């Protein structure tokens, strides 16, 4: 069915429904409505075939009609549309070049309405982050069908509520999306946001932005996603998670500290200790910084594998957790991480050892700065009494 709303797109999007206006004129150049219209399409230089839909003529004898091409029909680099009429006006020929836009996100929606789509929980939770981007349905309600793209719809995002992850679109959907609808967010030149644009370090919306900060320190090209085909993206994808863990373990970052009382595991260690406990997995424990045994110098503890051994029948720990959301990070952690990631990327991207060494030195200074600041963010711990301190 033809639907005029798809004409509001700024351009035809590859694999999404698009509505084109069709003017008709007769041999004298006067507007004239078609009689028994016949609309055909040629994709990428192929033979003309009948369009899935037939054009809708607007009443009034003004030679005006419109036709909605399906997503299957717009899945081509070059489209010619031949609008014919058995009698009356002359044939009309139109040419279209659907655009392929960079994909910023692929996921399944959490819901939707006639004028909105609710993104998945993994979408960026920053106000207006996706403003100006395009969103295209790709399956489920309001998408897919035919050869895979027949019912896909593309819409412009006119507002984005980060707290609820609801994107308002214009115009309204032809078919409202729901929780079965898969979608893609597409980069668009109308968007105010670009992953290459400078963003305040405490407001970084994604892990890719963090990687781009490191790449910029190397004077390198930035990336759109970790799955880009560039050498930069492949190196960043490989190194990023390992370096995040490394920098988290390097210091007792206060934003990453968590506490947990651990349940004892069945069975005792083979030697030296009586009890064994599994280290937390959610959030994942990267480093134990303190235990409830530390207040008693007679008790000791030791980590072996993913377990902690002690002689205590109950155990509470403080630990550094794996926090991967950049919006939860401290600004000093972000600076340290950027330096360390840039240092690790320096060899595969620039092949310059001195560049790497300079970045490593800068990284160590950032960690030391964080340790200095930590001294001002908590009450100093009381020194435990020992034989040495008692003598003094």
Residue closest to 254 by CA, chosen among 319, 304, 313: 319
In the chain, DSSP assigns E strands to 18-23, 35-43, 49-50, 56-57, 64-69, 79-87, 92-96, 103-108, 111-113, 116-118, 134-139, 154-161, 166-170, 182-186, 257-262, 275-278, 285-291, 301-304, 307-310, 315-321
Q: Does 247 or 203 have the greater pLDDT score?
A: 247
pLDDT band at 378 (very low <50, low <70, confident <90, very high): low
Q: What percent of the chain has pLDDT over 90?
A: 68
Range name among 139-153, 164-178, 244-258, 374-388 with the lowest pLDDT average: 374-388
- Contact between 68 and 84 under an 8 Å Cβ cutoff? The reply is no
Average pLDDT over residues 368-388: 65
Residue 228 predicted with pLDDT over 90: no
Q: What is the pLDDT of residue 388?
A: 39
pLDDT digits (tens, 9 = 90+) for 299-339: 789 999 999 999 999 999 999 999 998 888 888 999 999 99
Cα(143)–Cα(183) distance, integer angstroms: 8
Average pLDDT, the chain: 88
DSSP string covering 209-267: HHHHHHHHHTTPPP-S-TT-SSHHHHHHHHHHHHHHHHHHHTS--GGGEEEEEEPBPSS
Q: 218 is written with which tokens?
A: 């190397």
| Residue 61 confidence class, pLDDT cut points 50, 70, 90 | confident
Res 150 pLDDT > 70? yes
Whether the pLDDT of residue 196 is over 80: the answer is no
pLDDT at 140: 96
Give the residue with greater pLDDT, 202 vs 267: 267
Rounded distance, CA 40 to CA 81, Å?
Answer: 6
What b/e readout covers 126-154, taking b as 16+ CB neighbours within 10 angstroms?
Answer: beebbbbbbbbbbbbbbbbeeeebbbbbb
Mean pLDDT throughout 196-216?
69
Provide the percentage of residues in the chain whose pLDDT is more than 70: 90
Q: What pLDDT, on the 0 to 100 scale, is given for residue 391?
A: 42
CA angle 267, 269, 275 (to 5 degrees): 70
The pLDDT, as a whole number, for residue 382 is 53
pLDDT in tens, 114-126: 999 999 988 888 8
- For 148, the token pair is 């895979």
More confident residue, 166 or 197: 166
Determine if residue 128 is left, alpha or beta; phi over 0 gives left, psi from -120 to 50 gives alpha, anything else beta: left
Which of 131-135, 259-263, 297-301 has the weakest average pLDDT?
297-301
Q: For residues 71 and 152, is the Cβ–Cβ distance under 8 A?
A: yes
Determine the pLDDT at residue 188. 80
Say which residues have a Cβ less than 8 Å from residue 235's Cβ, sequence separation at least 6. 345, 348, 349
pTM of the model: 0.54
pLDDT attached to residue 376: 64
What confidence score (pLDDT) does residue 155 get?
Answer: 96
Pairing mode, if any, of strands 154-161 and 166-170?
antiparallel
Alpha-carbon span 109 to 89, nearest angstrom: 45
């Amino acid at each position: 069915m033809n639907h005029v709303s798809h004409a509001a797109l700024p351009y035809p999007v590859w694999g999404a429904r698009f509505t084109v206006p069709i003017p008709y004129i007769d041999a004298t150049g006067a507007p004239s409505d078609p009689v028994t219209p016949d609309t055909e399409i040629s994709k990428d230089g192929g033979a003309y075939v009948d369009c899935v839909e037939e054009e809708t003529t607007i009443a009034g004898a003004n030679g005006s009609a419109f036709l909605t091409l399906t997503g299957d029909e717009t899945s081509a680099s070059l489209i010619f549309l031949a609008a014919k009429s058995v009698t009356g006006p002359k044939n009309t020929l139109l040419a279209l070049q659907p655009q392929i836009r960079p994909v910023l996100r692929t996921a399944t929606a959490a819901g939707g309405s006639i004028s909105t789509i609710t993104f998945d929980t993994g979408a960026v939770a920053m106000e207006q982050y996706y403003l100006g981007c395009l969103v295209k349905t790709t399956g489920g309600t309001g998408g897919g069908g035919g050869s895979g793209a027949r019912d896909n719809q593309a819409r412009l995002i006119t507002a984005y509520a980060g707290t609820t992850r609801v994107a308002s679109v214009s115009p309204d959907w032809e078919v409202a999306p729901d929780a079965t609808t898969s979608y893609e967010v597409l980069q668009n030149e109308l968007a105010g946001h670009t992953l290459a644009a400078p963003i305040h370090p405490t407001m970084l919306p994604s892990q890719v932005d963090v990687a781009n900060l490191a790449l910029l320190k190397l004077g390198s090209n930035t990336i759109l996603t970790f799955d880009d085909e560039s050498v930069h993206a492949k190196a960043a994808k490989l190194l990023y998670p390992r370096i995040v863990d490394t920098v988290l373990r390097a210091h007792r970052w206060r934003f990453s500290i968590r506490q947990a009382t651990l349940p004892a595991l069945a069975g005792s260690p083979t030697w030296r200790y009586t009890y064994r406990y599994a280290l937390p997995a959610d959030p994942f424990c990267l480093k134990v910084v303190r235990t409830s045994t530390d207040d008693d110098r007679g008790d000791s503890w030791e980590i072996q594998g993913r377990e902690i051994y002690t002689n205590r029948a109950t155990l509470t720990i403080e630990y550094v957790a794996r926090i991967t959301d950049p919006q939860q990070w401290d600004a000093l952690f972000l600076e340290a991480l950027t330096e360390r990631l840039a240092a690790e990327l320096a060899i595969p991207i620039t092949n310059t050892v001195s560049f790497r060494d300079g970045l490593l030195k800068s990284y160590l200074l950032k960690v030391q700065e964080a340790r200095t600041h930590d001294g001002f963010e908590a009450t100093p711990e009381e020194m435990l009494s020992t034989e040495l301190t008692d003598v003094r």
